[in-house]
């Protein structure tokens, strides 16, 4: 006969439930089927800058996923410029998912961080208002020490924006690639091998999020 008091059994049941919730983690997003349209909104880190068309990470990501990935990267673009471009891109392509990778040029030009944060937030809100889903990709913060020692890290504000707007964040893909001189064509841009690794890291992150199978 079980002599465990009912209050103890109740406490144990509650503890098991809480552990199950904690271990279960964040619920995964629904996977996008092959043929889905995905918009890669970015700057020269997204555009085929320094590589041939077809060697850029959005094209390589399309090959890995079967999605139609539109490369909407514009060299030199800022968060404000991308925000201005976004409505027309959404109208034209009607994407199911938008990968937002902006802010690097804002930091290089020392634009106010509050302005960058506001622009990124507006982009994510606009994407969701159009019925699409969004993922934010972090750009590394400019750092002399990071460049010298090949240890760049994501700017802190990306995590804040992602949390505030409730969108997934891919924090490490760009900093990892741009920390390795063998993966860069110059101080700022990935080379062919860099774009290939970016595509792999972004694909793996999207699998963890749930968007990619």
Catalytic residues: 44, 186, 189
With CA atoms as reference, report the closest residue to 36 among 133, 181, 127, 101.
Answer: 133
Contacts 24+ apart (CB under 8 A), 118-123: 119/78, 119/79, 119/80, 119/82, 119/83, 120/79, 120/158, 120/161, 121/161, 121/164, 121/165, 122/83, 123/41, 123/79, 123/82, 123/83, 123/86, 123/98
> Would you place residue 26 in the very low, low, confident or very high pLDDT band (cuts 50, 70, 90)?
low
Confidence of residue 187 (pLDDT cuts 50, 70, 90): confident
Q: Are 32 and 96 in contact (CB under 8 A)?
A: yes
CATH 3.40.50.1110 fits 29-209, yes or no: yes
Tell me the per-residue pLDDT of 85-118, one tens digit each, with 9 for 90 and over. 999 999 999 999 999 999 999 999 999 999 999 9
- The predicted model scores a pTM of 0.85
pLDDT tens-digit series, residues 32-77: 999 999 999 999 999 999 999 999 999 999 999 999 999 999 999 9
């Amino acid at each position: 006969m079980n002599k465990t008091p009912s209050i103890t059994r109740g406490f144990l049941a509650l503890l098991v439930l809480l552990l199950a919730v904690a271990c279960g983690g964040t619920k995964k997003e629904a996977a996008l089927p092959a043929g889905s349209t995905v918009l890669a909104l970015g700057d020269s880190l997204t555009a085929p800058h320094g590589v041939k068309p077809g060697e850029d990470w959005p094209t390589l990501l399309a090959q890995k996923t079967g999605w139609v990935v539109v490369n909407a990267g514009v060299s030199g673009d800022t968060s404000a410029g991308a925000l201005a471009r976004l409505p027309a891109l959404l109208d034209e392509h009607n994407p199911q998912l938008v990968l937002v990778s902006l802010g690097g040029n804002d930091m290089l030009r020392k634009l106010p961080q509050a302005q960058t944060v506001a622009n990124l937030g507006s982009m994510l809100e606009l994407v969701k208002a159009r019925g699409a889903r969004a993922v934010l990709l972090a750009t590394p913060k400019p750092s002399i020490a990071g460049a010298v020692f090949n240890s760049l890290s994501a700017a802190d504000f990306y995590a804040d924006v992602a949390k505030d707007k409730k969108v997934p964040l891919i924090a490490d893909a760009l900093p990892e690639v741009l920390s390795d001189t063998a993966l860069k064509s110059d101080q700022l841009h990935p080379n062919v091998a860099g774009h290939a690794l970016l595509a792999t890291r972004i694909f793996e992150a999207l699998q963890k999020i749930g968007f990619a199978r």
